[in-house]
């Protein structure tokens, strides 16, 4: 991928896997936990997220190919999913396709179970993240492209780990206004990128429209 594509991919993954967007949910769900338990949970969430991303990175295109879906068709569908998520971010509402319900969250107490569901799936590695990984790996199948996407995801996961590991300290410093501004800004960036995905996918699926 060229420099522009790398920057776009970084912006997309940062918006869709926004660690600071997950921070309030993480703090709310671990309000009764000690700092040591929160940090153990942060490690588990990061490991589960890394494993899921690796599986999707290596096998995502084969999975959609098994169902007879082309990468361009998936790009349109993925762009629509991302647009829905970004619209929710812009309006400050919850993201149903990317988070579990509050009742489900309140019932989960086991650290390992909580780490996977709903913190890893579907809050962090939800439909939007899965679609984004498959779409960007569809740009090219070379080892260099895969390594670049993997490096971007690893960077986001590192930010996620640091954010969740020091969640109690960051939560004391980060005001509600800062969280709101960050969410709105990332929502607008993600919406613009999702529109580009949909347009590119439609042009590829229906080439007559681009004439």
Quick: pLDDT tens for 182-203: 778 877 877 887 888 888 888 8
pTM tops 0.85, yes or no: no
Q: What is the pLDDT of residues 115-143, one digit of tens each?
A: 887 788 877 887 778 888 888 887 655 78
**Where along the chain do its domains lie?**
23-95+125-203
60-68, long-range: CB < 8 A, 24+ apart: 60/130, 60/133, 60/134, 60/137, 61/134, 61/137, 61/138, 61/141, 64/134
CA distance 163 to 89: 19
Residue of higher predicted confidence among 147 and 20: 147
How far is residue 187's CA from residue 190's CA, in Å, rounded to a whole number? Answer: 5
Distance CA 100, CA 86 (A): 17
For residue range 80-109, list pLDDT tens digits in order.
887 887 788 788 765 544 444 444 444 445
């Amino acid at each position: 991928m060229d420099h522009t594509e790398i920057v776009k991919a970084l912006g997309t993954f940062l918006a869709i896997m926004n660690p600071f967007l997950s921070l309030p949910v993480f703090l709310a769900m671990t309000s009764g936990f000690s700092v040591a338990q929160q940090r153990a949970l942060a490690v588990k969430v990061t490991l589960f997220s890394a494993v899921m991303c690796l599986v999707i990175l290596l096998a995502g295109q084969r999975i959609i190919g098994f169902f007879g879906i082309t990468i361009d068709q998936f790009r349109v569908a993925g762009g629509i999913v991302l647009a829905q998520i970004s619209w929710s971010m812009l309006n400050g509402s919850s993201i149903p396709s990317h988070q579990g319900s509050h009742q489900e969250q309140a019932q989960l107490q086991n650290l390992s179970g909580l780490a996977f569901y709903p913190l890893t799936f579907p809050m962090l590695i939800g439909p939007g993240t899965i679609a984004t990984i498959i779409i960007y790996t569809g740009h090219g199948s070379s080892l260099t492209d895969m390594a670049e996407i993997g490096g971007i995801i690893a960077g986001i996961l590192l930010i996620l780990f640091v954010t969740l590991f020091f969640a109690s300290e960051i939560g004391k410093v980060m005001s509600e206004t800062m969280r709101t501004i960050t969410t709105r800004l990332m929502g607008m960036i993600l919406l613009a990128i999702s529109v580009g995905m949909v347009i590119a996918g439609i042009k590829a699926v229906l080439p007559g429209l681009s004439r």
